[in-house]
Amino acid sequence: MADNKEDQKFCLREVLDVFKSCLTENKEVVIDHYVAGWRGLVRFMNSLGSVFSFISKDAVTKIQIMVNHRSGENAKHYATIQSMVKYELENGLVDLTKQGSFPTSGCRTLLRLHRALRWLELFLERLRTSTEDSKTCVMCADAYNESLAQYHPWIIRKAAGVAFFALPGRPTFFEVMNVGPPEQVVAMLGDALPLISEVYQVTEELYSKHNLLDLP
Ligand SMILES: CCCCCCCC/C=C\CCCCCCCC(=O)N[C@@H](COP(=O)(O)O)[C@H](O)/C=C/CCCCCCCCCCCCC
């Protein structure tokens, strides 16, 4: 039988493990793994219902842009975030101050996913420390307001807020993660979070060093 990823049962541990494998020994971030991590998360989000499809569409578009870079004629320059930044900056392939010739630059596209990774980190930390009666929609909204929201216009913030209300409660959410009983979910999040944070920090420092944190 064909190996169809869409038919496989989602397991959050496997997805977070992909993020854990993003960093090389030299602390470079491997784009293939980074993108694979996002793909897994989008699959999880899709399983939560069609109210999230406007979010997953945008994430898929950005994932696809990175996949295209990785399969184009300059693929080797897109092996890690570090090599991508060097290549695009040295060759003037990034719109630095206003949108123009390079709407699909790797630097710009990855920055959007990078900001979303901060949301993920904050959300997972809230889930990890939550109690049985904590509300996923509140945790998600708080994490969003502390991170991604500042980059989104009013209309997107409103739509995101509506979508968060459709999140299932904590018990169902933990079930869909398919990791095991709540104690195991908490332990797994405790293992995964420091590595996700490290990927975020390494990227943040790299973008900051090159003044890329506000790319239009
Ligand atoms: C147990 C925890 C598992 C959590 C699983 C979460 C799964 C999340 C999967 C994907 C997250 C979405 C990533 C969204 C990337 C957004 C990038 C972005 O900011 N795009 C905007 C700017 O792009 P440009 O216009 O500059 O090209 C774009 O305008 C955004 C449009 C869509 C709305 C984005 C709302 C983001 C909300 C993030 C929370 C997701 C909640 C999912 C809940 C499970």
Mean pLDDT score of the chain, rounded to an integer?
94
Residues 64/50, Cβ–Cβ less than 8 Å: no
Task: Tell me what pLDDT residue 3 has.
Answer: 45
Q: Which residues pair with 23 in a beta bridge?
A: 29
Which residues, in sequence order, are CB contacts of 16 under 8 Å at separation 6+? 37, 188, 189, 192, 196
Per the listing, tokens 């190996």 go with 3
Task: Tell me what pLDDT residue 2 has.
Answer: 40
Measured CA to CA, the distance from residue 54 to residue 152 in angstroms comes to 14
Does any domain span residue 95?
yes
Residues 129/208, Cβ–Cβ less than 8 Å: no
State which ligand 1 atom lies nearest to the alpha carbon of 143: 39
What pTM was computed for the model?
0.95
Task: Tell me what pLDDT residue 12 has.
Answer: 86
Domain limits at 120?
5-207
Does any domain span residue 93?
yes
Task: Tell me what pLDDT residue 43 has.
Answer: 92
Measured CA to CA, the distance from residue 29 to residue 216 in angstroms comes to 22
Residue 74 alpha carbon to ligand 1 centre in Å: 27
Does any domain span residue 11?
yes
Does any domain span residue 213?
no
Q: How many domains does the chain have?
A: 1
Average pLDDT score over residue span 87-102: 97
Does any domain span residue 212?
no
Does any domain span residue 89?
yes
**CATH code, 155:** 1.10.3520.10
Residues 13/188, Cβ–Cβ less than 8 Å: yes
Is 60 touching ligand 1 by the criterion CB < 6 Å? no
Does any domain span residue 119?
yes
Task: Tell me what pLDDT residue 1 has.
Answer: 39
Per residue in 168-214, pLDDT (tens digit) is 999 998 998 889 999 999 999 999 999 999 999 999 999 999 999 99
ipTM surpasses 0.90:
yes
